[in-house]
Amino acid sequence: MVVEEYEGGLLDSDGRRGALAAPEDEESVFVATQWQLMWWRFRRHKLAVASAFILSLFYIAAIGAEFLSSSDPATSVVDVAYLRPQKIHWFDGGSFSPHVEKVTGARDPKTFKKIYAVDPDVKIPVSFFVRGYEYNFLGFIKADRHLLGIEGGEEGEYNRAAPYLLGTDVLGRDMAARIIMGTRISLSIGLVGVTMSFFLGITLGGISGYYGGWADAVIQRIIEITRSIPTIPLWVALAASVPRDWSIIRLYFAITIILSLVAWTELGRVVRGRFLSMREEDFITAARIAGAGDIRIIFRHMVPSFTSHVIAAATLAVPFMIISETALSFLGLGLRPPAISWGVLLQATQNVQSVAVYPWLMSPSVPVIIAVLAFNFMGDGLRDAADPYST
Amino acid sequence: MLGYLVRRFALAMLTMWAISILSFVIIQLPPGDFASTYVETQMGGPALVGTPAALVIETALRREYGLDQPLFVQYGKWAWKFIHGDFGVSLEYRRPVREIVGERLLMTIILASTTAVLAWTLSIPIGIYSALRQHKWEDYTVTFVGFLGLAVPDFLLALVLLWISFRLFPDHSIGGLFSPEYRVHAWTIGRVVDLFSHLWIAAFVVGTAGTAALIRVMRANLLDELNKPYVVTARAKGLNEWRVVLKYPVRIALNPLVSTMGYLLPFMMSGSIIVSVVLSLPTEGPLLLRSLLSEDLFTSATILFVLGVLTVIGTLLSDILLGFLDPRIRYVR
C-alpha cells in the first residue's frame, strides 16, 4: 500500500476543501460542463495554479533553451574549468550598466588546482539580446541571439564566452546553459513515459475491465506480478542491460520504455476500476440496448467520463518518472554524456570531494526538486478538481 | 479464510517463479557475456578483443561456466541448483555467491529494519499531532516538510548530507557503515556501537520518503475518524482529550498502517540501493550495481531474486495480516 503513495505521487490531503465557490450567478453551476466545473474547482487550489504556472515556465525554457543560454552547453573552454559562479553587477556607480568582473586564472604549481583571481577594476559589459553562437530556434529557424551575453564574445575566447551565472564544470562548460538544456530531456522523458504508460494502461486496463473473464484474470495477474517485483532493482537491471554503444535517441527511448513498463500498472488498475464500475451503469445499458457497438460505447460513452481522473493520475506519475530518470542517469545507467539531462549533470557529484570543493555542481538538483514538487501539487489539485464528490 | 490464504500463496509462488525467470533473463540481455566482458576489462583491454587469443580464452571461460549452452538449459541448471541452496560461483570474485551475498544481506536487513523502525516511530506521533492541529501552522509545517520529503530524491538528500558533514567534520567520514578501525573487526560491543553511529544517517536518508508517506496516511486516517459521532460522545462524557484521541480513533486509524508493516521492510531494502551506492554502504546495492555492470551472471541474478523474494514474502505477510484484520478483504472474489 505504501508503495502506491510513492508511485502515485502524494496522498490525498483531507480532501475537504469547503463548498465549491459559486460563480456570480447560481444558474451557471447547473449548466456548466464537466470541464468548466473542473476548471472552477482547480482554480480555487492556489498552490496547484501556481505550480501549473511554474511548470509552464519550465517547458517554455525547454523550448527556448538555446535562446536562454548564454553559451553553447556542449562547448568546453578549458581555461575556465571549475569557475565559481559569476555575479552580475547591475549598476556601475549609480548608472545602469550590467557587467561581470574580469577573472584571471592560474594553476597552483604545487596542487595543480586552478586558482581564479577576480579583478574588480576590469569590467566586462553584459547586455541583452546579444549575438552569440548560432542555433536553430524550434529546430528550423536560424538564429544567433541570446537573452544574456557578452557583446562580441567569441566561443572559446578566455573570459569572453559568457557570464557564468552558475559556474562551470570540469571541462569549463557553462553550468547554467547545461541546466537549461537538460530541462529538455528531463522534463520530456516524464511526458513521453507517461504517454506510453497511458497507452498501455488504457488498452490493457480497458480490455481487462470491459470484457472481464479470462482476459481480466490474465491481465490482473500480470499487473500483480509486475507490481510485486521490487521496482528499483528491476530498473537498475534493465537499464544496465541497455547496450553501451546506443545513440542518445535510442537510449532515450529505451529508458522511457523501461520506466513505463512498471508505471503502466497503476494506470491500468485505475482504468479497470472505472470500467468495472461503469459497465453496470444505466446509461451504458441504454446505449447497448440502442444497438451501439463496443467501440462506440467505449469511446463515446465511457472514456469521456473518466478522462479527467486518468489525467490526474497521469500527472501524479510524471514526477516519479523524472526522479527515476535522474536517479538512473546519476548512477550512470540511464542517459550518458554527451546527452544532457539533470541526472547526467549530477553524475559529476558522485565524488564527495569534488562537491565539497565545487559546491555549485549540485545546482542541477534545484530544478529537479522544484519540478517534482510542482507536478505533485498540480496533480493533487487536478485530482481534487476531477473528483465530483469533493464538494 | 483458507481459500483466501491458498489463493494468495499460489499467486506468491507464481510471482517468485516469474521473478526467477526475469532476473535470469534480464542479465543475459546485454550484448556479449561475462567471458567477453572479462577479456575486455580484466585481461588485455579492448586491444585484445577479437584476436585469436581472446577467442581461445573466451571459449575456455564459456565452457568452464557453461555459458555456451542454450539459455533455458542454463536457467534450468541454475534454478535446480538454487533450490538446493547452491547459488553458483561469482564469476568475478571467484567465490561462492552465497558467501558474497550473505555477507551483505545481514547489513542490508539491519539497515532496512532500522529504517522501518525509525519511519514508524517518527511518523505515527507526527501524524497524530498534525491531524490534531489541522489547519494550524504546526500542521502546515508538517505537511510542507512531508511534501518536501517525498519530492526530494533520496540520493540527493544523501549527497547534501555528505556535503554538509564533509564541510563540518572534514576528518569524520559518514560514508560506509564502519569507521576504518572497525571495518574488518570481530563483532564486539565497540563495533556494534560504531555501526549504529553510522547507521542512523543512512537510515534517515532511506527512510525520509517512507516516513513522509506514513505521516500523510496516519494524518488522513485519523482525520477521517476524528469527526465521527463516537468521538463527540466520548468528549461529551467528559473524558480527557488525550484519552479520547489515543484510546479510540488512533487505534482505528492505525489499522491500515499495520497492513503496510510486512511491506515496508522489503521496500526499504530495494529503496536503499541507490542511497547505498552514494554513501558506499556495504549492502546489496553497490554489489548489485557492480555485478550488473561486469555481467557477473550468478551474483546479480541471486541478488535480484533474493530482493524479489523478500518483497513477495513481505507482501504476502501483509496481505494475510490484512485478511485477519478486515473480513471484507477475505471475501472479495
Q: Per residue in A52-65, pLDDT tens?
A: 999 999 999 888 88
- Cβ contacts (< 8 Å) between A333 and chain B: which residues? 289
Q: How many angstroms away from the CA of B188 is the closest CA of chain A?
A: 30
Q: Which pLDDT score, from 0 to 100, does residue A54 have? A: 92
Query: Measured between alpha carbons, how far is A309 from A364 in angstroms, rounded to an integer?
Result: 32
- Cβ contacts (< 8 Å) between B263 and chain A: which residues? 1-3
Q: What is the mean pLDDT of residues A340-365?
A: 83
Q: Note whether residue B65 is domain-resident.
A: no
Query: What distance, in Å, lies between the first and last C-alpha atoms of chain B?
Result: 12
When pLDDT is cut at 50, 70 and 90, the band that residue A160 belongs to is low
Query: Measured between alpha carbons, how far is A93 from A86 in angstroms, rounded to an integer?
Result: 19
When pLDDT is cut at 50, 70 and 90, the band that residue B211 belongs to is confident
Q: What is the mean pLDDT of residues A290-299?
A: 86
Contact B253, B221 (CB under 8 A): yes
More confident residue, A144 or A368: A368
Q: Which pLDDT score, from 0 to 100, does residue A162 have? A: 65
Q: Which pLDDT score, from 0 to 100, does residue A236 have? A: 79
Q: Note whether residue B290 is domain-resident.
A: yes
Q: Which pLDDT score, from 0 to 100, does residue A18 have? A: 41
Q: Does A231 lie in the same domain as A157?
A: no
The pLDDT of residue B32 is above 80: no
Q: Name which of B148, B209, B307 is nearest A233 (Cβ-Cβ).
A: B307
Query: How high is the mean pLDDT of chain B?
Result: 78
Q: How many angstroms away from the CA of A232 is the closest CA of chain B?
A: 6
Which chain A residue has its CA at the smallest distance from B213's CA?
Answer: A5
Query: pTM of this prediction?
Result: 0.80
The total of structural domains in chain A comes to: 3
Which chain B residue has its CA at the smallest distance from A358's CA?
Answer: B163
Which chain A residue has its CA at the smallest distance from B152's CA?
Answer: A369
Q: Note whether residue A46 is domain-resident.
A: no
Which chain B residue has its CA at the smallest distance from A11's CA?
Answer: B216
When pLDDT is cut at 50, 70 and 90, the band that residue A1 belongs to is very low
For the segment A114-133, what is each residue's pLDDT rounded down to a tens digit?
777 777 777 777 778 877 77
Q: What is the mean pLDDT of residues B236-247?
A: 86
Q: Which pLDDT score, from 0 to 100, does residue B330 have? A: 62
The pLDDT of residue B133 is above 50: yes
Q: How many angstroms away from the CA of A226 is the closest CA of chain B?
A: 8
Q: Which of A139, A172, A205 is where one domain is finished? A: A172
Whether residues A228 and B311 touch (CB distance < 8 A) is answered with yes
- Cβ contacts (< 8 Å) between A373 and chain B: which residues? 147-148, 151
Q: Does A341 lie in the same domain as A196?
A: yes
Q: Does A238 lie in the same domain as A157?
A: no
- Cβ contacts (< 8 Å) between A359 and chain B: which residues? 163
Q: Does A128 lie in the same domain as A276?
A: no
Inter-residue long-range contacts of B129-134, CB under 8 Å, 24+ positions, other chains counted: B130/B215, B130/B219, B131/B218, B131/B219, B131/B222, B131/B223, B131/B226, B132/B222, B132/B226, B132/B245, B134/A14, B134/B223
Q: Which pLDDT score, from 0 to 100, does residue B209 have? A: 81
Q: Which pLDDT score, from 0 to 100, does residue A156 have? A: 47
Q: Which pLDDT score, from 0 to 100, does residue B235 have? A: 87
Q: Which residue has the cell 588546482?
A: A113
Q: Note whether residue B58 is domain-resident.
A: no
The pLDDT of residue B18 is above 60: yes
DSSP codes joined into one string, A175-231 = HHHHHHHHHHHHHHHHHHHHHHHHHHHHHHHHHHHHH-HHHHHHHHHHHHHHHHS-H
Most confident of A100-104, A281-285, B5-9: A281-285
Q: Does A348 lie in the same domain as A314?
A: yes
Q: Note whether residue A184 is domain-resident.
A: yes
Q: Name which of A229, A362, A373 is nearest B147 (Cβ-Cβ).
A: A373
For the segment A145-155, what is each residue's pLDDT rounded down to a tens digit?
777 777 765 55
Whether residues A229 and B263 touch (CB distance < 8 A) is answered with no
Q: Note whether residue B3 is domain-resident.
A: no
- Cβ contacts (< 8 Å) between A346 and chain B: which residues? 156, 159
Whether residues B159 and A365 touch (CB distance < 8 A) is answered with yes
For the segment B51-87, what is each residue's pLDDT rounded down to a tens digit?
777 777 777 777 766 677 777 787 887 788 778 777 7
Q: Which pLDDT score, from 0 to 100, does residue B206 have? A: 84
Question: What cell does A65 get?
Answer: 533553451
Q: Does A267 lie in the same domain as A136?
A: no
Q: Which of A121, A139, A172 is where one domain is finished? A: A172
Q: How many angstroms away from the CA of A5 is the closest CA of chain B?
A: 7
For the segment B148-207, what is each residue's pLDDT rounded down to a tens digit?
888 788 888 888 887 787 777 766 655 666 776 666 667 777 777 777 777 877 888 888
Question: What cell does A189 get?
Answer: 522523458
The pLDDT of residue B94 is above 70: yes
Q: Which pLDDT score, from 0 to 100, does residue A56 have? A: 92
Q: Name which of B23, B31, B216 is nearest A243 (Cβ-Cβ).
A: B31
Q: Name which of A11, A330, A369 is nearest B152 (Cβ-Cβ).
A: A369
Going by C-alpha positions, the residue among B272, B275, B213, B152 that lies closest to residue A6 is B213
CA atoms within 13 A on the CB side of A84: 15
Q: What is the mean pLDDT of residues A71-99?
A: 77
Whether residues A373 and B148 touch (CB distance < 8 A) is answered with yes
Q: Which pLDDT score, from 0 to 100, does residue B175 have? A: 60
- Cβ contacts (< 8 Å) between A317 and chain B: which residues? none
Whether residues B166 and A355 touch (CB distance < 8 A) is answered with yes
- Cβ contacts (< 8 Å) between A369 and chain B: which residues? 148, 151-152, 156
Q: What is the mean pLDDT of residues B257-280?
A: 75
Indicate which CATH number applies to the domain containing B187: 1.10.3720.10
The total of structural domains in chain B comes to: 1
- Cβ contacts (< 8 Å) between B308 and chain A: which residues? 228-230, 233
Q: Name which of A229, A331, A373 is nearest B308 (Cβ-Cβ).
A: A229
- Domain holding B196, by residue range, is 97-331
Contact A68, A133 (CB under 8 A): no
Q: Does A380 lie in the same domain as A237?
A: yes
The pLDDT of residue B325 is above 90: no
Q: Does A256 lie in the same domain as A154?
A: no
* Residue A118 CA from chain centroid, whole number: 36
Going by C-alpha positions, the residue among B11, B283, B133 that lies closest to residue A218 is B11
The pLDDT of residue B243 is above 80: yes
Q: Note whether residue A68 is domain-resident.
A: no
Q: Note whether residue A378 is domain-resident.
A: yes
Q: Which pLDDT score, from 0 to 100, does residue A53 have? A: 93
Q: Name which of A6, A373, A376 is nearest B209 (Cβ-Cβ).
A: A6
Query: Measured between alpha carbons, how far is B24 from B298 in angstroms, rounded to an integer?
Result: 8
Query: Measured between alpha carbons, how far is A275 from A265 in angstroms, rounded to an integer?
Result: 15
Q: Which pLDDT score, from 0 to 100, does residue A250 have? A: 84
Q: How many angstroms away from the CA of A222 is the closest CA of chain B?
A: 9
Which chain A residue has its CA at the smallest distance from B30's CA?
Answer: A241
- Domain holding A2, by residue range, is 1-31
The pLDDT of residue B45 is above 70: no
Whether residues B163 and A355 touch (CB distance < 8 A) is answered with yes
Beta-carbon contacts below 8 Å between A and B:
157
Which chain A residue has its CA at the smallest distance from B309's CA?
Answer: A229
Indicate which CATH number applies to the domain containing A317: 1.10.3720.10
Q: What is the mean pLDDT of residues B243-253?
A: 84
Contact B44, B54 (CB under 8 A): yes
> Which of A319-333, B78-92, B118-132, B281-295 bottoms out in mean pLDDT, i.e. has the lowest?
B78-92
Q: Does A152 lie in the same domain as A192?
A: no
For the segment A230-252, what is each residue's pLDDT rounded down to a tens digit?
777 777 778 877 777 788 888 88
Q: Does A200 lie in the same domain as A167?
A: no
Q: Which pLDDT score, from 0 to 100, does residue B183 have? A: 66
Q: Does A186 lie in the same domain as A106?
A: no
Determine which of B115, B155, B288, B296 to mutate to test the interface with A (most A C-beta atoms within 10 Å).
B155
Q: At residue A128, what are phi and psi to the nearest 5 degrees?
A: -90, 155
Q: Note whether residue A50 is domain-resident.
A: no
Q: Does A114 lie in the same domain as A211?
A: no
Q: Note whether residue A121 is domain-resident.
A: yes
Determine what percent of chain B is predicted with pLDDT higher than 90: 1
Going by C-alpha positions, the residue among A177, A170, A172, A176 that lies closest to residue A78 is A172
Going by C-alpha positions, the residue among A303, A367, A380 that lies closest to residue A41 is A380
Q: Note whether residue B55 is domain-resident.
A: no
Q: Which of A121, A140, A172 is where one domain is finished? A: A172
Q: Note whether residue A70 is domain-resident.
A: no
Q: Note whether residue A82 is domain-resident.
A: yes
Q: How many Cβ atoms are within 10 Å of A254's Cβ, its own excluded?
A: 18
Q: Which pLDDT score, from 0 to 100, does residue A319 have? A: 87
Whether residues B289 and A236 touch (CB distance < 8 A) is answered with yes
